[in-house]
Amino acid sequence: MRVKVDDMVKVISGSDKGVTGKVLRVDHQSGKIVVEGVNKVFKHVRRSQKNPQGGRLSKEMPINASKVMIVCPKTNKPTRTGIRVAKDGSKERYAKSSGALLSVIAPAKKKQA
C-alpha cells in the first residue's frame, strides 16, 4: 500500500466520490484508510461524565485504500505513485504524472568498501 498518513488523497469511487482530504490513519492489515471528512457516520452515545450531553457524534469510518488516489502536489490532480532510487542512493516516492517528489522512503546507504 503506497498511501501514508498526512497524504492528500482524492476519493475516486463510492458515495463520497470527488472529495479530497488528508489521510488520518492507515491499517495495512485490512487495507483500509481513514480520510478526513469522508465516509462520515453518526455514533449514538449515552450520557456520561465524559459526554454529559449524549446524543449523536459524527465520525469518519475506514474506506478501502483502492478507492482513493494520491493528489500530486505539483498539479493538484490525482495520480499514480511509483518508487525510484535517487542519485544519492535514497529511495523516494514520486508522482508518475509529473515526476514530483512525494516523500523519501529510505535514506541513502553507506557504500561498502
Cell numbers linked to 8:
492528500
pLDDT tens-digit map of 44-84: 999 999 889 999 999 999 999 999 999 999 999 999 999 99
Same domain, 105 and 64: no
Domain count, the chain: 2
Same domain, 63 and 97: no
- Residue appearing with cell numbers 476519493: 11
Nearest to 81 by CA among 63, 106, 103: 103
Cα Dmax for the chain? 67
- Residue appearing with cell numbers 532510487: 85
All residues at 6 or more sequence positions from 89 whose CB lies less than 8 Å from its CB, including other chains: 108, 109, 111
Say which CATH number the domain at 20 has: 2.30.30.30
pLDDT tens-digit map of 28-47: 999 999 999 999 999 999 99
Domain that holds residue 6: 1-47+56-71
